[in-house]
């Protein structure tokens, strides 16, 4: 662990996890094994990070976010936690912890969030999905979907290697890097073949 890390004594880091300078890991955070937490990252109270995740510099992961195994969070990504944020109550008093209605961003196994993207809670990013840099995600992202824009919309499909899939005849999709084949189900969602 680098100098200047603010690690709460109730937080746990798995074996082989590295944390860079100026990062704050709040109370009850659980980070799995073999993770890389970049410089200036904020992990809010109770955030859960799976094994082999990479959270790049200056990402803000607000509670109660859940990141499953193998998740990539790019530089300056923000995972929000309040649908209707306000600094003060309706009476004009400064809000305290008890005044917040926290909601989560959930990122499923293998998904990647590009640099400076914002995920507006509550949303779930599906397995192996890819959120393009600078996107604003306001609704759930299906497994293997490639989404981009503000608000983010599906513009294609990606495989586990993260590269766009190529459509073959008869609705099959394949990964040009790994050769893995996928098919669309009756709901128009990509599934492993």
Task: Name the domain count of the chain.
Answer: 2
Q: Are residues 51 and 61 in the same domain?
A: yes
Element (H, E) at 43: strand 42-43
150 and 166 in a common domain: no
Domain coverage including residue 176: 159-193
- Going by their DSSP bridges, the two strands 181-184 and 190-192 should be labelled as antiparallel
CATH number of 77's domain: 2.160.10.10
Q: Residues 91-107: pLDDT tens digits?
A: 999 998 888 889 999 99
Q: What percent of the chain has pLDDT over 70?
A: 98
94, part of any domain: no
What does the block give as tokens for 92?
Answer: 């004009």
Residues 72 and 165 in one domain: no
How high is the pLDDT of residue 160?
95
Does residue 190 register a pLDDT over 90?
no
Task: Flag whether 95 is in a domain.
Answer: no
Report the distance separating Cα 84 and Cα 106, nearest Å. 18
- Residues 6 or more apart in contact with residue 53 via CB below 8 angstroms: 31, 32, 35, 36, 67, 69, 70, 71, 72, 73
For residue 14, count other CB atoms closer than 10 A to its CB: 16
Per the CB < 8 A criterion, the answer to whether 75 and 93 are in contact is no
Check if the beta carbon of residue 58 is closer than 8 Å to that of residue 39. Answer: yes
Task: Please tell me whether residues 164 and 82 are part of one structural domain.
Answer: no
So what's the pLDDT on residue 143? 95
Sign of CA dihedral 24, 30, 31, 33: positive
Mean pLDDT of the chain: 94
Tell me the whole-structure pTM to 2 decimals: 0.95
- Write the pLDDT tens digit of every residue in 8-57: 999 999 999 999 999 999 999 999 999 999 999 999 999 999 999 999 99
Domain containing 193 — which CATH number? Answer: 2.20.70
Instruction: Sort residue 46 into left (φ over 0), alpha (ψ -120 to 50) or beta.
Output: left
Same domain, 25 and 117: yes
Asked if 165 contacts 158 with a C-beta cutoff of 8 angstroms, the reply is: yes
Cβ–Cβ < 8 Å for 24, 38: no
pLDDT band per the 50, 70, 90 thresholds, residue 154: very high
Q: Does any domain span residue 24? A: yes
Res 112 pLDDT > 90 = yes
Q: Indicate the pLDDT class of residue 188, thresholds 50, 70 and 90.
A: confident
pLDDT of residue 87: 94
Total count of residues recorded for the chain: 193
CA distance 23 to 41: 5
């Amino acid at each position: 662990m680098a100098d200047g890390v603010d690690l709460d004594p109730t937080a746990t880091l798995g074996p082989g996890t590295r944390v860079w300078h100026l990062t704050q890991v709040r109370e009850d955070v659980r980070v799995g094994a073999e993770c890389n937490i970049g410089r200036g990252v904020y992990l809010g109270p109770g955030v859960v990070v799976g094994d082999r995740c990479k959270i790049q510099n200056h990402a803000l992961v607000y509670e109660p976010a859940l990141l499953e195994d193998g998740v990539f969070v790019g530089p300056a990504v923000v995972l929000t936690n309040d649908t209707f944020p306000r600094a003060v109550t309706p009476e004009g008093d400064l809000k305290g912890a008890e005044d917040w209605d926290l909601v989560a961003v959930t990122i499923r196994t293998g998904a990647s969030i590009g640099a400076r993207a914002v995920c507006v809670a509550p949303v779930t990013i599906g397995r192996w999905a890819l959120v393009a840099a600078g996107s604003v995600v306001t609704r759930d992202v299906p497994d293997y979907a490639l989404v981009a824009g503000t608000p983010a919309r599906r513009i294609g499909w990606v495989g586990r290697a993260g590269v766009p899939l190529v459509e073959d005849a008869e609705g099959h999709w394949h990964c040009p890097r790994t050769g893995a084949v996928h098919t669309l189900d009756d709901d128009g969602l990509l599934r492993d073949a």
